[in-house]
A and B are shown apart, each in its own frame.
Chain A
């Protein structure tokens, strides 16, 4: 009555089957994206800084863009004083963010594809020319 061997084989098959997705993905992890910063506009900068602190931009640019959107559209405040260096920026997705980050495909999209997010902004907001040509 004690089919120890059969049970062990069954268990082994079960374990293999259950952990297959993990084992299969092992060693082939997708490398983290490296957003490129080699645009003409950024190369012109002496102080290679974003509108705010890089870490803040990396983690919170989505909320920050919403903040910009509401400032411009709902409160009619169209300049932004950077807390990073006191510089003034025009509040605009197309004319400010994308002037510097004109390589949308190698910058914004490199992360977004990795994280599988598809911002719908580009249904209306026009992508920079360079990105479009390489599409």
Chain B
């Protein structure tokens, strides 16, 4: 068939008018196929196992807020994390690096803010960290796969691949990621003895966050923050496998009321707060 330019333009105009985009065309020709294939891609992008197969392990953290607020000025978990991973004390809140940090109920749960906050919780600080979401938005946007989801649910950072574009920071709804505006070694000058020689630092221009201590998990140890909390016998942090119905985390989640941060976003966090 020989179509004149005029005929072609007419056809194009009419198609556009009826919204016959590529998607719609696919939908007409093979109903449902497009959606199905994009769902598979979606799952794969989140590092999910094949559909219907549940991984043996999904690491999760349960934070007993009621117990923690009794230890008002305690920073043991935060300090343990900082010294294990060579996290610098920056001072300037705009440039600070944090993996686990303490904040107040009102700040962490703005959506739960009822007119009258429970007196026991009002203004009280407790720890938060990366949520290790089941559907992590940071992983979706990372252009180099520097941040990725492991089969055991940990949202991991590969510092060797991070190009510092900070898309992940924009995508994370929880402010759990920090950017190295300066060389973190600078903050250890004269304090080299504080560095943990078994772990690296990071460098200027990479993003970092909590990784649930995979180097410790590999040795059968719990994350450094949990260990520090247990040492103090305050037992506010409980770490375990969410996919094991008999694990400590599952047992306590059955018994107590728990909330998660911004559940309406559908990221399915692996960090639970007992209130």
Contact = CB atoms under 8 A, between A and B. Distances in A.
B199 interface: yes
A73 B197 contact: no
Given A69-B160, A124-B159, A76 B218 contact: yes
A74 B198 contact: no
B202 interface: yes
A74 B47 CA distance: 12
B61 interface: no
A123 to B, nearest CB: 4
B148 interface: yes
Contact of A94 (B197, B202, B214, B218): B197
Contacts of B259: none
B158 A94 contact: no
Contact of B199 (A72, A74, A94, A128): A94
B198 A94 contact: yes
A76 B199 CA distance: 16
A78 interface: yes
A54 to B, nearest CB: 26
A125 B200 contact: yes
Interface in B56-111: 86
Contact of A126 (B158, B201, B215): B201
A126 B200 contact: yes
A88 to B, nearest CB: 13
Interface residues of B, number: 21
Contact of A124 (B192, B198, B203): B203
Contacts of B156: 73-74
B150 interface: yes
A63 B51 CA distance: 35
Given A124-B203, A126-B200, A126-B201, A76 B214 contact: yes
A74 B160 CA distance: 11
A22 B198 CA distance: 47
A105 B202 CA distance: 22
- Give the interface centre of B183, B198, B215 by most chain A CB atoms within 10 Å: B215
A76 B192 CA distance: 29
A14 B197 CA distance: 58
Interface string B204-242: 000000000011001000000000000000000000000
A118 interface: no
B195 A126 contact: yes
Given A73-B159, A124-B202, 20 more contacts: A72-B215, A73-B160, A74-B156, A74-B158, A76-B150, A76-B152, A76-B214, A76-B218, A78-B215, A78-B218, A94-B197, A94-B198, A94-B199, A123-B183, A123-B203, A124-B200, A124-B201, A124-B203, A126-B195, A126-B200
